Amino acid sequence: MSAAALDPKGFNKLYLNGEYVAAKGTETYALRNPKDNSTVTADVPIASAEDVDAAVAFAEAAFRGPWSKFTAVQRTECLLKLASLLDDELTPILTLDSQTSGIPVSLAPVRERTYIKNCLVYYAGWTDKQKGDYFPADDGFVKLVRHEPLGVCAAINPFNGPLATLFLKTAPALATGNVIIVKPSEKTPLGSLAIAPLFAKAGFPPGVFQVITGAGSTGALLAEHMKIRKISFTGSLTTGRKIQELAARSNLKRVTLELGGKSPAIVFADANLDNALTWTVNGILTRSGQLCVAASRVYVQREIADVFIQQYVERMKAASNDFGDPQDPGVKFGPLVDEGQLARVTAMVDKARNDAELVVGGARLGTTGCYMEPTVFLNPKNDSEIYKNEVFGPVSIIKTFDTEDEVIDMANDTEYGLTSGVFTRDIARALRVSAAIESGVVGINCVSVQNMQVPFGGKKQSGVGREFGEYALRLFTEPKTVLINMAA
């Protein structure tokens, strides 16, 4: 892919049926670089109902036509070819995406490339392992169960990990024989558009993978479309509810929702202090706190509270020096995604000043762009917004506790239940507390981490369904029972 092809102004079309095409809808919008609010491109299309219908028609034709004739081995070959193509192509595309996401390009060479490539290679190995069941004819019927693809699927992706999420949803969908339409966040669509032609280059037939752009109105068209059989959404709780409602009111399409968190990190007195500090600080600063798994609530046992808080605050304060131009490979942390997100975070922080003790940060960082200081509050009121709601910025709270039972109650006092962390050298305590915490993922002596081999998802209002691992595959297939009458 040439450097010219990565000019953001060149991605002002939709990617349908294996090619870039002009949108039927006439509405467009502009994108800005959050490091300085300069315009990146001014004419990103908003896909209309006609555009969505066209994407679905192409997807259905591919699903029932050429893609249905691909063997499992051929699907594996396509996924592995795509992974190979990304060796050379991915970093420039991630750099393009950084212009509107603010995600530092320093993450691209190792973290992003490794994560994405591992995802493709992992699911490439699953294409021929969609085993079914056999039950003997002890009642006169042989019973067979096989798992079949759903058909046309859709993915609505977040702004904070647009390409990683694209592959996280696309790889299991394609491995199981489905086709997929991707709608990236309206804030970060460029990388998804840029990467689309690589699917054709890898051997996927036209219509198997498509990208449309737009805001919430376009997402709603996907959620309510009568011929889309599955929708996978990552984003806010408010939008997730709307998608589930639209899916239910239309054709009862399958829905997977990953809706954020307010993840607790529990640090017991016997924990390795340096390890706990490293994980909890990184867990709130990575992507400037714009992570659903961010360690935004830290509970520290009273015996070590003074020393832990002092060192935690020092590290957070020092991290202000690591923020800068996200397109500079030497910069560790970037801005929030846009002015709207900065205003939202700033408003929550200002309100929290009356509910908790502000010990570091609390203001916009610098005078240009959408940067927020790393911010820490101590012992907020139990009903305060900063304590209860997801901030999605580099803002954390610290509370002290005395007993194990007390901190379990504190950690579970939330409607979120995505991830958590337990820091202790006592393995019995670690297992006991991890069992009691109401979250889909629990890290022991780590936090805010995911692994491709095991399921990822939340309890309570953090979501519905699971991604990663074998569990994601079952959510892209439908079991079919076949009964054979042996007496006929």
Catalytic residues: 258
For residues 456 and 440, the answer to whether their CB atoms sit within 8 Å is yes
For residues 474 and 174, the answer to whether their CB atoms sit within 8 Å is no
Tell me, what amino acid is at 65?
A: G
Q: What are the residues whose beta carbons fall under 8 Å from the beta carbon of 321, sequence distance 6 or more?
A: none
- Classify strands 230-234 and 297-301 as parallel, antiparallel or unpaired: unpaired
3-state secondary structure string, 128-162?
CCCCCEEECCCCCEEEEEEEEECCEEEEECCCCCH
For residues 102 and 326, the answer to whether their CB atoms sit within 8 Å is yes
For the stretch 115-147, what's the b/e string if a residue is b when 16 or more beta carbons lie within 10 angstroms of its beta carbon?
Answer: bbbebbbbbbebbeebeeeeeeeeeeeeeeeeb
